[in-house]
Structure 1
Amino acid sequence: MADPHAQDDYVRGSQEISEQASTFDLFMGLTKWGSLLIAVTLVMLVLWFQPGGSFIAGAIAAFVLLVVGIFALRKKKSQH
């Protein structure tokens, strides 16, 4: 059994985490932009294929959602 009072070489906060941070940033970016793409596609298809719907109405609504989503989801500039 390990001695709980023994000293080990690990010091909390001392490991390099740049690779984990970049992987997390990539995952969050793909999740964010992928969700917007799915939402735009669903809006277009619902408005196009509903009874009495049209392709033009779906395309316009999808374009508006895409533009609003891009402005809402883009990275904010840092205040440094």
Structure 2
Amino acid sequence: MRTTITIPDALVAEADALVGSGGIATRNQLIIEALQNWVELRKEELIDNEFTMMASDSDYIAETLAIESEFTQSDLEVATSNDD
């Protein structure tokens, strides 16, 4: 998809100076890879935020502890069978 964006001249100059190095052959490729990297970082941040919220969710913590206690005996059995 073609689109038009406005980029500050100084940033374009810096980017253009780097085109041709690090496996980036064109300005277009640089912009695509930069945008892909930003999107991936943002997705990771959103996932991290969800985990942070889970850490303070009392219902989630209670459910996790209940599940953990249900597996205590089987975990112990596996641990002792590995000692053989």
**Shorter chain as normaliser: what TM range?**
0.3 to 0.5
TM-score, structure 2 normalization: 0.37
Bigger proportion of residues as helix: 2
